[in-house]
């Protein structure tokens, strides 16, 4: 396979859109999620993010990166105002609707209505979940970290509730998100379904890895 | 599809390993990458990370999260000492070798030798690349952000060089990492190949999305 090498100077000389697409792509596979919020008056908001970050398991923390000068600012402002948000995995059946939430709708237009997804309210949470999602998480805002290097913001939430399909959890705690229908994304707009290659055992020096087979709780 | 709901109290009551596996899984699909570093004496180190983060395109910044109490501490220390690291995407052909780098080898044992991958040195970079990777990036350390909330560390690098297969870049800057053989991961140990569902156009209110077809530069 022949390679082409781009230096920093090449990248800086790229056309702006070409560069954004290029640099986003090489960041690899990510999970598109719909982040559901509401403002203080209860108007719902929904936006797709490709920057979900596992921060830690104990306490259970999850984060994402927002760009305050983009459509993402509504999400950011709502989280800072209400301190609660939901994270909803995207399935192939509604990936176009999910992508459409990235359009610049006016502040009080609900993306749910505009794109055709269904808000779902549960008593534990004033922010809307996405009914069509199979894996849904609610989180309480705990920290905002400003990345001064480029003006983006990392939001960290502590997990409050997790909703997963009953038949997708294995006896060792693994959540089979492929079985749940979650999809992957690269860059800003390229979506993928997945095919499991396999799970591997915990690696130790000088011991062969063994495959882990999935035994589900139910 | 029936759902099961776990509250924060449920999660806190999980067995520690179950919780780690569970919370890592719901963080969704990510890209496993091998981070190559060397210490001041030039001893190479290679470790797998599942926490690659796109920070921004202008300037081109990329980050990851490290756990200083884990095997990842060698990588972290080397980056802080030498200010340079490489990021190498993983292909299905060597995902077991990549996973094996997470074993706790002694400080001066090279994971390259131990797992059977090939260090590749290029004149722009004292940190080793992985010869077997098809997408390889070198980055200069620019910022360390301590996440005091759980003791993890975010490392941000500015991209110095990007190596991609010549036939994987499209005319609009999209890097087709699936075509390059890059794989995805969930949790700590579950690997996936992908199948493209499609790329979608930039979303605008009240305009239908259209598929983007891939026209490669070469």
CB within 8 Å of chain A, chain B residues 104-163: 104-105, 109, 114, 124, 134-135, 137, 142-143, 145, 147, 149-150, 152, 154, 156, 158-163
Quote the DSSP letter at residue A30. B
* Chain-centre distance for alpha carbon A10: 30
CB within 8 Å of chain A, chain B residues 185-214: 185-187, 189-205, 207, 209, 212
Rounded Cα distance, B100 and B117, in Å:
11
- Mean pLDDT confidence for A190-209: 97
- The band of B2, judged by pLDDT with boundaries at 50, 70 and 90, is confident
Nearest to A182 by CA among A92, A106, A94: A92
Measured between alpha carbons, how far apart are the two ends of chain A, in Å?
45
Do A190 and B199 meet the contact criterion of CB atoms below 8 Å apart? yes
Optimal mutation site among A23, A88, A101, interface B, most CBs of chain B within 10 A? A23
Do B125 and B157 meet the contact criterion of CB atoms below 8 Å apart? no
Across chain A, the runs of DSSP E, i.e. the strands, are 3-7, 33-38, 44-49, 53-56, 61-66, 84-89, 119-122, 125-130, 136-147, 152-165, 184-186, 190-200, 211-212
A10-62 confidence digits (pLDDT tens): 999 999 999 999 999 999 999 999 999 999 999 999 999 999 999 999 999 99
B71-120 confidence digits (pLDDT tens): 789 999 999 999 999 999 999 999 999 999 999 999 889 999 999 999 99
- Would you call A209 and B161 a contact, using CB atoms and an 8 Å cutoff? no
Model pTM score: 0.97
Please tell me which residue of chain A has the smallest CA distance to B3. Answer: A165
- The band of A1, judged by pLDDT with boundaries at 50, 70 and 90, is low
CB within 8 Å of chain A, chain B residues 67-86: none
Across B69-111, the runs of DSSP E, i.e. the strands, are 84-89
The owner of tokens 């199979």 is A134
Optimal mutation site among A65, A203, A208, A212, interface B, most CBs of chain B within 10 A? A203
Percent of chain A with pLDDT over 70: 100
Residues of A in contact with B202 (CB under 8 A): 102, 189
Nearest to B99 by CA among B86, B90, B107: B90
Per DSSP, the residues of A67-86 read: -TTSTTHHHHHHHHHH-EEE
Length of chain A: 218
**Distances in Å between the alpha carbon of B78 and those of B32, B86, B108, B121?**
20, 12, 12, 16
Rounded Cα distance, A134 and B176, in Å:
28
Rounded Cα distance, A133 and A181, in Å:
9
B126-142 confidence digits (pLDDT tens): 999 999 999 999 999 99
R_g over Cα of chain A? 19
pLDDT of residue B1: 66
- Mean pLDDT confidence for B15-38: 98
Any CB–CB contact under 8 A between B169 and chain A? yes
- Would you call A104 and B204 a contact, using CB atoms and an 8 Å cutoff? yes
Q: B172: exposed, middle or buried (C-beta count within 10 Å: 0-12, 13-18, 19+)?
A: middle
Predicted confidence (pLDDT) at residue B146 exceeds the cutoff of 80: yes
Residues of A in contact with B23 (CB under 8 A): 54, 56-57, 60, 62, 159
Predicted confidence (pLDDT) at residue A69 exceeds the cutoff of 90: no
- In b/e form, how buried is each residue of A119-155, taking b as 16+ CB within 10 angstroms? bbeeeebbbbbbebbbbbbbbebeeebebebeebbbb
Rounded Cα distance, A24 and B60, in Å:
9
- Mean pLDDT confidence for B137-155: 97
Any CB–CB contact under 8 A between A65 and chain B? yes
Across B17-60, the runs of DSSP E, i.e. the strands, are 33-38, 44-49, 53-56
């Amino acid at each position: 396979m022949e390679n082409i090498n781009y230096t920093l100077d090449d990248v800086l000389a790229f056309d702006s859109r070409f560069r954004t697409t290029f640099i986003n792509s090489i960041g690899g596979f990510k999970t598109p999620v719909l982040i559901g919020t509401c403002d203080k008056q209860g108007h719902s908001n929904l936006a797709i993010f490709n920057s979900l970050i596992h921060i830690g398991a104990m306490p259970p923390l999850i984060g994402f990166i927002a760009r305050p000068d983009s459509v993402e600012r509504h999400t950011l402002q709502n989280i800072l105002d209400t301190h609660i948000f939901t994270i909803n995995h995207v399935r192939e059946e509604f990936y176009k609707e999910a992508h459409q939430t990235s359009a610049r709708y006016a502040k009080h237009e609900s993306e749910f209505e505009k794109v055709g997804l269904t808000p779902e309210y549960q008593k534990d949470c004033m922010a809307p979940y996405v009914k069509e999602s199979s894996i849904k998480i609610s989180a309480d805002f705990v920290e905002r970290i400003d990345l001064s290097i480029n003006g983006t913001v990392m939001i960290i939430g502590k997990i409050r509730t997790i909703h997963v399909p009953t038949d997708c959890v294995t006896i060792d705690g693994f959540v089979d998100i492929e079985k749940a229908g979650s999809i992957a994304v690269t860059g800003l707009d390229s979506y993928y379904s997945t095919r499991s290659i396999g799970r591997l055992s915990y690696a130790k020096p000088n011991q062969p890895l063994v495959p882990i087979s999935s035994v589900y709780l139910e």
